[in-house]
Amino acid sequence: MLPVPASLSQAFESQLAQRNIPDQQRSDFHKWLRFYLDFCAKYVLDPKLTASFAGFDQKLQSKGQSNQQRLQARRAVAIYYRMIGTIQSPPAPSGNSAAKNANNHLPSTHPTRRIWPLPVRSVCRQ
């Protein structure tokens, strides 16, 4: 498992303190962030994309994690997203309903910001 960079871990700890996460739960929040980043590295996913969380949550469920543990993991990743300024996945093509619904696993109380450039449509002259 890859270690979380010290600067990221310290910034995350600061966010946990600002959000009044109890001291006894903070090590678990760090664990979920580490697991999420490791999952993204293993499956070559961008951890800044909100769509990357869906697969992580499915993996937690397949490993028998309780709903309480999955909720805590979701909260930890949501704090990470807000801390770094997330990239919401662009809309999927109309035929791919699984990709469209990938963000449904994220808490709706944590909005994401789009920070990627809008697509440019090419105009062909004939």
Cα 32 from Cα 29, distance rounded (Å): 5
Residue 45 sits at the vertex; the CA angle it makes with 42 and 48, to the nearest 5 degrees, is 125
Q: What is the pLDDT of residues 74-121, one digit of tens each?
A: 999 999 999 988 555 555 565 544 444 444 444 434 444 333 333 333
Q: Which of 20-24, 48-52, 100-104, 115-119 has the lowest mean pLDDT?
A: 115-119
pLDDT at 73 over 90: yes
Q: What is the pLDDT of residues 27-36, one digit of tens each?
A: 999 999 999 9
pLDDT of residue 118: 34
pLDDT of residue 85: 82
Residue 55 sits at the vertex; the CA angle it makes with 85 and 60, to the nearest 5 degrees, is 105
Segment 48-52 mean pLDDT: 92
DSSP secondary structure of 82-117: HHH--BPPPPPPTT-HHHHTGGGGS-TTS-----SP
State the SS3 of 30-70: HHHHHHHHHHHHHCCCCCCECCHHHHHHHHHHHCCCCHHHH
Segment 41-50 mean pLDDT: 94
